[in-house]
A and B are shown apart, each in its own frame.
Chain A
């Protein structure tokens, strides 16, 4: 597609339920990122994929959070047993890797998650 696509755009879930957030990166972009943006705050790095592997998961806040990527394309971020503090906008970005360097990151519109 022309840009990074995320689905759903909005998700309301009950506390304790599991949720899956999806990201379709720009075709050919091997680098993929997940960020979290809490209300009124900056972007918090969650995880980075290079291809299908995740060399840096250091930003995942707890073991309730996991992510995977398949076919060097689609990625899903899964949050198990959601808590109210998980409420945030989850942003996905992708980037082209050229000569071993990543430069500009392109962002999706985000998924607004509300845990009630």
Chain B
């Protein structure tokens, strides 16, 4: 069965510092990978996705992620965070040719002034 691991449940970081949110997945087949962001009391919004092609994916709000097949990882990065980036971030995987999205448990990013 597919699974997604987000090792860090909470990540505090100071404003304008860089951040990396880690995501590892278990799959021996081709997958699509996603990062979603959930602001307080809101639904999930897609940040970025990897379908194929370049392993470095750029998303909205200055975020980017790199697909590493050998390490089965899809870590999310931002070189300089803002207070407004404070939110919950979810990594998700979908096996190609299937319909189900498997989500990680989320990482709560808290940006400190």
Contact A42 B105 (CB under 8 A): yes
Q: Does B53 have its Cβ within 8 Å of any Cβ on chain A?
A: no
Q: Which of A91, A103, A108 has the most CB of B within 10 A?
A: A103
Report the number of A-B residue pairs with Cβ-Cβ less than 8 Å.
51
Q: Kindly list chain A residues whose C-beta atoms are within 8 Å of the C-beta of B94.
A: 102-103
- In the complex, what's the smallest C-beta–C-beta distance from B39 to chain A, in angstroms? 11
Contact A101 B100 (CB under 8 A): no
Q: Does A45 have its Cβ within 8 Å of any Cβ on chain B?
A: yes
Interface size class of A (residues with CB under 8 A): 20 to 34
CA of A107 to CA of B103 in the docked complex: distance in angstroms?
Answer: 13
Residue of A nearest to B91 (CB): A42
Question: Which of A59-104 touch B at CB < 8 Å?
Answer: 91, 93, 95, 100-104
Residue of B nearest to A35 (CB): B103
A103-B43 in contact given A42-B90, A43-B90 (Cβ < 8 Å) = no
Contact B104 A91 (CB under 8 A): no
Interface size class of B (residues with CB under 8 A): 20 to 34
- Chain A at the B interface: SS class: strand
- In the complex, what's the smallest C-beta–C-beta distance from A1 to chain B, in angstroms? 14
Q: Kindly list chain B residues whose C-beta atoms are within 8 Å of the C-beta of A45.
A: 100-102
Q: Does A50 have its Cβ within 8 Å of any Cβ on chain B?
A: yes
CA of A93 to CA of B98 in the docked complex: distance in angstroms?
Answer: 16
CA of A48 to CA of B51 in the docked complex: distance in angstroms?
Answer: 21
Q: Kindly list chain A residues whose C-beta atoms are within 8 Å of the C-beta of B46.
A: 104, 106
Question: Which of A10-69 touch B at CB < 8 Å?
Answer: 31, 33, 35, 41-43, 45, 48, 50, 56
Q: Does B83 have its Cβ within 8 Å of any Cβ on chain A?
A: no
Interface residues of B (CB under 8 A from A): 32, 34, 36, 42-46, 49, 51, 90, 94, 96-106
19 pairs of residues in contact across A and B, judged by CB atoms under 8 Å: A4-B43, A33-B101, A41-B106, A42-B103, A42-B104, A45-B100, A45-B101, A45-B102, A48-B100, A93-B44, A101-B96, A101-B97, A103-B49, A104-B34, A104-B49, A105-B34, A107-B43, A108-B43, A110-B43
